[in-house]
Amino acid sequence: MILAGLCACQATPSETETPADARLTVGFVLVDGVFNTELTAPYDIFQHTVYHVDPGMRVFCVAPSLEPVRTFEGLRLLPDYSFDNAPAIDVLVVPSAEHSMDSDLDNQELIDFVRERALTADYVMSLCDGAFVLARAGLLEGREATTFPSDRETLQAKFPNVRVHSDATLVSDGKFITSVGGAPSFEAALYLTEVLYGAEKARGLAGGLVIDWDLAKIAYLEFN
């Protein structure tokens, strides 16, 4: 079954009333083997901004082509755009995938796309082993980061110029946000919405998904 709706933007009142160029665009990078949680958790948070802020975010998925992408858990997703025709991206999100630590790092098309779009994005976020893709693209050189707990040593060994932290579920260094993934993928997205829209809006977004959100209770690190 192809789940076309998951990665497609649905029209809302705020979307029809607000000029498209006034909305922050959020582009999720999809490759085969992407993990469901690292995609859908932040996708839910960012998409639901349309009900809490005006203008809300415009969220979409980008893949190497417009062919269906199969997640690690078996869902089949239709990308909204390919690497060739993707619009401008204000928030670039790189979820973890099955091969984020190995063969995806040799996918030059993927690495080039992430590197080029990160240069013009306002924020760049990775979930779980998506940090390996950012590192391969040279985006984490000399920066602070984290990744899936059992993969931190590997990230440090592969990319010695990245300072990998083991005492935080998310690390924010300038415009780069890295996260341990899994359930805390919600936290990474809520953190950015709080940065962008304030604590009250972030709590409203969290409440809609029955999440008890309090940034003070999250193990995060910030670097400027």
Length of the chain: 224
Pairwise CA distance, residues 118 & 109, whole Å: 14
pLDDT interval class at 30 (50, 70, 90): very high
CB 35 within 8 A of CB 75: no
191-215 per-position pLDDT tens digit: 999 999 999 999 999 999 999 999 9
Residue 10 has pLDDT above 50, yes or no: no
Which pLDDT value is given to residue 20? 52
Residue 217 to residue 207: CA distance in whole angstroms: 16
Measured distance CA(184)–CA(180) in Å, rounded:
7
- Tell me the helix, strand and coil percentages in the chain, rounded to 5: 40, 20, 40
pLDDT for the residue numbered 5:
36
Q: Name the CATH code of domain 22-223 (choices 3.30.420.40, 3.30.43.10, 3.40.50.880, 3.90.180.10).
A: 3.40.50.880
Laid out side by side, the sheet with 220-223 consists of: 81-82, 58-63, 25-29, 91-94, 123-127, 176-179, 170-173, 220-223
The 10s digit of each residue's pLDDT in 162-176 is: 999 999 999 999 999
Q: Is the pLDDT of residue 14 over 70?
A: no
Write down the pTM of the prediction.
Answer: 0.90
Tokens standing for residue 77: 């997703």
Residue 218 is given by DSSP the state: S
Residues 176, 139: contact at Cβ < 8 Å? Answer: yes
